[in-house]
Amino acid sequence: MLPRAAWSLVLRKGGGGRRGMHSSEARGGGKMSPYTNCYAQRYYPMPEEPFCTELNAEEQALKEKEKGSWTQLTHAEKVALYRLQFNETFAEMNRRSNEWKTVMGCVFFFIGFAALVIWWQRVYVFPPKPITLTDERKAQQLQRMLDMKVNPVQGLASRWDYEKKQWKK
């Protein structure tokens, strides 16, 4: 916040309110500062500064003609006046962008890179699988559990028919 003395100085010069901002003195005599908010947005369509502040002779003549009756202006002149004030139309603001293609490309790139890292780790970093995970050893372990009659009431041994040597149906 500015102190009261500074505010009174700003208000005396006419640069504090909205009217002061739209005067030619506040805009630097027609030249646009690089830090101004000159673009329209969907939620705030009326920018504080016009899009073009430095006008050539043809555009100045069009601005003078604008002060008269708008029925005398052609459609092309109305569009040119609109383009002097605004950067883009609502249709151009609401147009879909192709940014999703870049995002999806980056996502797939990183998924592919992660898959390559996982493959590399499985081949070169992780130790080989233990011998107990082979199919032969698993079959031997199952047979041993059946021979020991492990959990005969509700478990594995309860589903094995010991007389026929096959699984119960």
Place of tokens 């080989």: 128
- Please give the model's pTM, rounded to 2 decimal places: 0.42
Handedness of CA 8, 9, 12, 18 (dihedral sign): negative
Tokens of 82: 């609109």
**pLDDT tens by residue, the chain, 169 residues:** 444 544 444 444 444 444 444 434 443 344 444 545 555 667 777 777 788 888 889 889 998 888 989 888 999 999 998 888 887 888 888 888 899 999 999 999 999 999 999 999 999 999 988 999 999 999 999 999 999 999 989 988 899 999 999 999 8
One DSSP character per residue, 100-148 reads HHHHHHHHHHHHHHHHHHHHHIIIIISPPPPGGGSHHHHHHHHHHHHHT
Residue 24: which of 58, 45, 49 has the closest Cα? 49
Position 70, amino acid: W
The half-sphere exposure of 143 on its side-chain side, counting CA atoms within 13 A, is 7
Distances (CA, A) of 36 to 28, 46, 122, 127, 128: 11, 13, 56, 62, 64
Per the CB < 8 A criterion, the answer to whether 49 and 38 are in contact is yes
